[in-house]
Structure 1
Amino acid sequence: MHHFEEELTCSICYSIFEDPRVLPCSHTFCRNCLEGVIQLSSNFSIWRPLRVPLKCPNCRSIVEIPAAGTEALPINFALKAIIEKYQQEDHSDVTTCSEHYRQPLNVYCLLDRKLVCGHCLTIGKHNGHPIDDLHSAYRKEKETSGKLLEQLTDKHWTDVCLLIEKLKEQKSQCESIVQEDKKAVVQYFRKLSDTLEHKKQALLTVLDEINTHILEEYEPLIEKLKKIREEQLELMSLNTSVQKEESPLLFLEKVNDLHQRVRALKQKQLPDVKPVEIHPRIGHLLKDVWSKTEIGQINKLLTPKIKLIPKRKLCSKGRGKEGRQSREFLQAVNPLAGLLLFVLLVVTVISLHKPASSVVIKATPAYVSEFLLLIYQDFCTHLQNIVDVLCQTCNLLMEFVGRMTSL
């Protein structure tokens, strides 16, 4: 009974018969479907009020419905029994409608081009759509399958294939460019890393050299003072033992010898320890110069020469307003600003007397920067010493003038 769905389907609602009634022409329909047809039909006779004429939806013959309506039509008990037995069986292989419970998909909607059930056509969203039965729709679509193949093999799909190849080519070109850029990035940062590592090792080497110089400078002095300290402790121990001597003669001899040794020890010249400082400080150089340098110019930075120099003395406080003004004026002198002014003056004079070529003009800033970095460290040290001397001399002069005016 798995293939009887079409025979058990009402030709009006295209659903399984519900309360099947037989017309006088022997065709069977659902009672509710006949009620709907009677309400829409205008073919009734006013001459025979006890009978309602109706045109059969299948054979189109005129039949008469009793005055009591469809309730008086005979029930198709055989068909009803078959339907009840059919509904009790398992029809898992039959596709049913997802919107209407247990209604088979046995009608083809031509508008939406999909299978629907009878309820979809009568009370569902496919109401009023053109339809066809399942086998007829299958046969028609089978006959037109060649046209579908033509649509799938026309020029449009050739253009699609060409477009795919074009997109693949563009994709390959873009990927090649990205790979080249990746290599450039890796190479650039490898070179930058090598440059930074080289600069780091150079700075560490310079710091190791100054550390060695510090050891050579201070270790002999420390050892000399340690020996003096050891001799002092030895004399203190000897003094303790002399105090225990009971013989006056031996005591006086030992005390005299002890005095001579103490006098000789105190007369030994102590090293002259002057305050020094390390110049330039690498930390300041990294902060003030290196951190402000462009990445591409790092390899042009010169490694500084670190030295131990006498510690700079601050100018003593001057007296009165004149002393403060002179100190502020001298401290305002910026060695680098003076040097830059001098270099710019020289370049200006040369350019006025002898015009430089474009290559020289472009190269001038680079050479000037290298020149400044080369001489800046030593020049600043000497210039600062000169400023300190001038500051001290000015303070003495102001003090002398103040004393003269007070007289």
Structure 2
Amino acid sequence: MRSHRVPVRWKIAALAAACGGLVAATVGVMVHVWTRWDIQSRAEAEAVNSLYSAVDTYRRGDVLSDGIQVDPPGLPTALREPPDGDRHTAYDDRVEGNVGPSMWAAQRVGGPGSKVLAFQVNMGPRMYDLQRLDMSMAVASLAALAVVTPLAVLGSGVLGRRLHRVSQTAGRVSAGDLDARTGPTKGRDEISDIAAAVDAMADGLARRLHSERRFTADVAHELRTPVGGLLAAADLLPAGETEDALRARIRDLRDLVEDLLEISRLDAGAERPARTPVPLDAVVREAVARTGLPTEVVTTAKPVVRTDPRRLERIVGNLVVNAHRHGRAPVEVTVTEHTVTVRDHGPGFTADLLREGPRRFRTGARERGGGHGLGLTIALGQARVLGAELRLGEAGDGGAVAALHLPQD
């Protein structure tokens, strides 16, 4: 089952939104801190200047200006005992009604026990302005994110579509379509480099596979004549065990050559099915009978399918032979609606074969017997020619299962 994935366009958009939010938050905090410091600095300067003028007035005995208080009850504790002649300031975060927080400036006039002059600057309106500034910046940041995020989605969508084209090409190549290419892509960036690299990889892979297929076909064609000569020469040998063993080995070699030729035709895509309506049960029973191996055939339905009977017999025969050669008896063939299942009671298919599919000249685990690994490869190739699907699996109680699902047309 394919795990849930998040498109790259949404990842880029989320990254852009996160970066934008981080920048907005950083700027907002810096502005808030600086503005608060500026408010306090201005309030402190105002309090000190007002107190400076009031001290001279108080010493002359003149009337004090508004806001100057003598020993006020609300004076912060830190300013109640200031040294004589020194002006001190303190921030008071108390809020009483419409007053507060405040900045106080105080100075003792005279010796110990003399009066303390103080001046209070109400910072409430300025702090309210700071709150409004914070709110305005928050709204502006959200509005900017609301504009930037869709733009990031649109911009990243272009990158996502280009990457998706490259991904589709790579997927088609891995599925066996060696003609798949991405082609020229817009832009001169890393995505263009990736697309060019995938196309170059597909070109190199196509050349190598074409060379291997041509080599296999050439070798098989060249071997047909000497193998035929060996088989004819064996007929001239006197009857006996040696002659029988030699003829058996030569027949095996001939079958191997024919299998290689068939695989080369399948690889070249030169095979075309000759479809005709046939009874599925009868074709399967004929294919099993041709193998000459003891196999039980169970029919739960007798549909008529439109397919190539020769290729269908080849697939079923290969699966039955493979089950007997690499598995253990009993081997059972079940025919249902458009499905043929071959099951043995051996050690089952290997994990590599189930994961990667059949490969020529590789039989998997040693306990499944020897062979060239061509039977399943041919069966899989012929199934593709028929437009069918060959699935390999494991039985619940042990053994290998090969299910051929024919198209319902």
Bigger strand fraction: 2
TM over 0.5: no
State the TM-score bracket (shorter-chain normalisation). Answer: under 0.3
- Scaled by the length of structure 2, the TM-score of the pair is 0.22
Bigger helix fraction: 1
Q: Which has the larger radius of gyration?
A: 1
